[in-house]
Amino acid sequence: MIFHSIARATFIIIAMLDGLEGAQGFSKKPRTVATCRRKIRTSVHHQNVVNQDMNAPYVIYPDKKAWAWERASPKKSLSTVLDQKNPAPAWLLNIIELAHWVSFPIGFYIASFLFNNSSAIAEAGNWGGSTSQVFFIMLGILNQVFGGGMAVLMHVYEGWMVAPFKNLLVLPENPTNEQVDAVRVQNYNNAWLRAAAYQMLMSFQSLGLSLFTMGVFGVKPWTQSLVYGTALISLLGPKEPRLELTRKVDGEDRPVLPLSISLTVVLAVNVIIQLLACVKLFYPIFAQSDKLGTAIAVIASILPSTLQGAGGAIEGYFAESSFKQWQHLGAFIILLAGFLLLGNAFKQMVLVGSTPDVMLPSFLNMLDSL
């Protein structure tokens, strides 16, 4: 009752003031209480319609395509850089998406294999039967798998199309229609989303590599420093300055690998040390074979991680600067091949068992003694 009384009194006062304005020549037609109510409702309704139109949580990309295999038309920007009738056919985009999702069950299977065969792997690794090191290797692999989800999210936003990028952060306060069109997802990919996804992806990849290294060499001061340092710099390190790498395609310099320099250094260090860890872990297994020489055994040891890294590098450097969907698929197939070879290497460890008589290169023994 109190609320209705206050509201009624408010409308009466508004009507009186409106009548006063009319008497003073400010209004030719005094407004009634009903008119005030109608105008207030109209104003609120208009504001709600505007908000709903811009919020639109039910609008997706591609619009009006309910099933996962239905794809948007090729982005308009692709027609400016590729001389193809259909630069992004739906069937090819579906295969690209499938290839990305396949990496998850492969990674989970490798982790489950390590868990189920932890004792045998610990024996083959000459770790005195300690399965804690197997746990860190498994945790490292799962970190890399989880990090892949960042790239999947970016690709879902983009409609699984590699295409030219525009950064909406540089959109001026009063943009032209052409500038607004440049940041529409139907026309271009989002450069800032790409940079954010890359930063998170490589943070998890770096942490996964450092945990893998700790698993191989054991929990020691230098491996702990590597893991903690990687985590701290990845999460708290400076996001600027950033890499300004470009690749010249058709006479145009196109930016590639949008990462902070601090994270790039961390990633590079972890890649090198993890390759050494792969030699220490897998070389004795492959060196057991009489058919493989020392060089081949070393190559076989680092091949899984090399292919994984090469697949990601090809996607980031070539596919996302030439905007060819076939290169995107090819890059990820290389990455999947590395994953499969990694699983096979662990399987060989279980089959071969302990190899105490195999001599490792001296620099690996030096790292092992730290």
Q: Is residue 95 scored above 50 in pLDDT?
A: yes
Could you write out the three-class secondary structure of 122-164? Answer: HHHCCCCCCCHHHHHHHHHHHHHHHHHHHHHHHHHHCCCCCCC
CA separation for the pair 35, 211 (Å, rounded): 70
pTM: 0.82
Per residue in 141-157, pLDDT (tens digit) is 999 999 999 999 999 99
Q: Helices (H) and strands (E) in the chain — how many of each?
A: 14, 4
Concatenating the DSSP letter of every residue in 92-130 gives HHHHHHHHHHHHHHHHHHHHHHHHHTHHHHHHHTTSTT-
Considering only CA atoms, which of 275, 282, 274 is closest in space to residue 212? 274
Average pLDDT on 272-280 reads 94
Q: Which two three-digit tokens encode residue 85?
A: 């009738």
Residue 133: C-alpha distances to residues 63, 95, 107, 136, 188 (Å): 48, 36, 18, 5, 45
Considering only CA atoms, which of 217, 355, 314 is closest in space to residue 275? 217
Q: Is residue 111 scored above 80 in pLDDT?
A: yes
Residue of higher predicted confidence among 368 and 11: 368
The amino acid present at 75, given as its one-letter code, is K
Q: CA 241: distance to chain centroid?
A: 20
Contact assessment for residue 359 and residue 288, using Cβ atoms and an 8 Å cutoff: no
Per residue in 281-316, pLDDT (tens digit) is 998 888 877 667 788 988 999 999 999 999 999 999
Determine the 3-state secondary structure of 279 from DSSP.
helix
Contact assessment for residue 327 and residue 310, using Cβ atoms and an 8 Å cutoff: no
CA separation for the pair 282, 280 (Å, rounded): 6
Contact assessment for residue 305 and residue 320, using Cβ atoms and an 8 Å cutoff: no
pLDDT of 353: 80
Q: Is residue 279 scored above 60 in pLDDT?
A: yes
Contact assessment for residue 331 and residue 312, using Cβ atoms and an 8 Å cutoff: yes
Per residue in 6-65, pLDDT (tens digit) is 445 455 444 444 544 444 444 444 455 455 455 444 444 444 544 556 777 788 888 877
